Amino acid sequence: MSTTSESYQRFKLKKVVDTLARKKGLHTELITLYIPSDRQISDVIGTLRTEYGTATNIKSKSTRKNVMDAIQTVIQRLKIIPKPPPNGLAVFAGAIPKGAPGSEKMEIYLIEPPEPVNVYIYQCASEFWLDPLRDMLSPKSSYGLISIDRSQSAWALLRGTNLKIVKTLKSGIMGKHRAGGQSQRRFERLIEQAAHEFLTKSSELTRELFEEISDLSGIIIGGPGFTKAVFAEKGYLTSPLKDKILAVLDTAYAGEEGIRALVEKSEEILRNQRLVKEKRLVQRFLSELARDTGRATYGEKQVREALDRGAVDTILVSEGIDYERATITCSSCGYSSEKTLEPDSISEFEDQLAEQQCPNCHNQSLGIEKAQDIIEEFNELAQETGSTLEIISPETEEGKQLLGAFRGFAAILRWAEQA
């Protein structure tokens, strides 16, 4: 069995947060509960019983009933949990309106977060408090990238998969002077003075752009020639920023183009950054495909077939896809089939099924038994076959290519397969 990838855990959490963010109570009726791993479940239940007693004082009859029902629902669920998971537990419960007043339905969600819950929190409000989970989704560190030579410089921030150019600067320094004698020496002094002023201006911008970033984990400087080393080592950077320099690297270009080259050259340094990991995964797939090794396939149908054969090492699925995998069954004979649908088309497809005959028994008794997010389904298939599912963000160039050229599905295979 394979382990669940970090990218899939992040995808699942993001999906849950988005779902919970859409839930709204009529009044202050939705319960949010964060339980650290070292908190005794019996203590939590005791606190909830106290809150239940307090809720009896709520003036509004409907609000009082909904709050008390939500607390009781949470208590009953917690009773079957001997202790919190290693990272703690997040619980969300409440009466969610489904239309007109009186249509509320009690819903409860228990989430094992990917990072530790550090404090015990109980809150009753008109919406769930999701900030602690959103914080877990945020990249925990950022990296400053500087690409510089005598002609230009550029600054960028890399957070997770997001690479953002934040500033560019042109120096305006002229090229070499071909005259001789004193004129040449004077001209060279002017160029050196202009270069110094340009590096001074670049250092000021570096302080403005990077010094106040609390999660800045490191700075990587690159560019052609010696300017980058002079900038890094000759007193242009303040000590706090200089201490954050991870590497000074040679690149063929400076400026914006140099930033992208710097990301490529920094892969080993940034190996834990999601951008680099995704780039390597997609490039590995593209390399296998371009060399026609027989160890790459793409398309939903083709990846499924490779999974059925147990041939898949790594599945690459774009986070940008939005499909449901529907299971169609016949209530008369048990016939079953599957179909991939867009979520908005499921209702219309169900109406069409009601008018169709079952291909097995020819009765009009077809319906959708269940519909599952296709990424979740592929993760289950990966678990069953010992494969790894990686979710690829559409924010990167490689991610855009996966979503566009390969319709969001690709796989790197364990062995070569001939067409």
Q: What pLDDT shows up at residue 277? A: 86
How many Å from the N-terminal Cα to the C-terminal Cα in the chain?
A: 28
Greatest CA separation found in the chain? 101
Q: Distance (Å, rounded) from C-alpha 299 to C-alpha 321?
A: 12
Q: What pLDDT shows up at residue 2? A: 60
Nearest to 233 by CA among 246, 220, 224, 242: 242
Q: What pLDDT shows up at residue 329? A: 96
The C-alpha angle 369, 101, 77, rounded to 5 degrees, equals 55
DSSP state of 320: T
pLDDT along the chain (419 residues), means of 10: 78 94 93 97 97 94 94 97 96 90 88 92 96 88 95 94 92 63 72 92 97 92 96 94 96 95 90 83 96 96 96 97 96 95 93 93 93 95 95 90 96 87
**Which DSSP string do the residues of 245-311 spell out, in sequence order?**
EEEEEE-S--HHHHHHHHHHHTTTTTTTSHHHHHHHHHHHHHHHHHTT-S-EEESHHHHHHHHHTT-
Q: What pLDDT shows up at residue 358? A: 96
Nearest to 231 by CA among 257, 197, 208: 197
Tokens standing for 214? Answer: 């609390």
Q: What pLDDT shows up at residue 98? A: 82
Phi, psi values for residue 60, rounded to 5°: -70, 125
Total residue length of the chain:
419
Phi, psi values for residue 278, rounded to 5°: -65, -40
Q: What pLDDT shows up at residue 312? A: 97
CA 138 to each of CA 20, 115, 134, 142: distance values in angstroms, whole numbers, following the listed order:
17, 12, 6, 11
User: Is 334 strand, coil or helix?
Assistant: coil
Tokens standing for 126? Answer: 């008109």
Question: Element (H or E) spanning 328, and its range?
Answer: strand 324-330
Nearest to 414 by CA among 320, 294, 325, 324: 294
User: With contact defined as beta carbons under 8 Å apart, do 133 and 117 qualify?
Assistant: no
**Which pTM does this prediction carry?**
0.79
User: With contact defined as beta carbons under 8 Å apart, do 365 and 359 qualify?
Assistant: no
The C-alpha angle 409, 413, 418, rounded to 5 degrees, equals 105
Q: What pLDDT shows up at residue 161? A: 78
Q: Distance (Å, rounded) from C-alpha 134 to C-alpha 10?
A: 11
Q: What pLDDT shows up at residue 246? A: 95
Rg of the chain in Å (alpha carbons) = 29
Domains and CATH numbers, the chain: 6-137 (3.30.960.10), 142-176+193-272 (3.30.420.60), 279-321+377-413 (3.30.1330.30), 327-370 (no CATH)
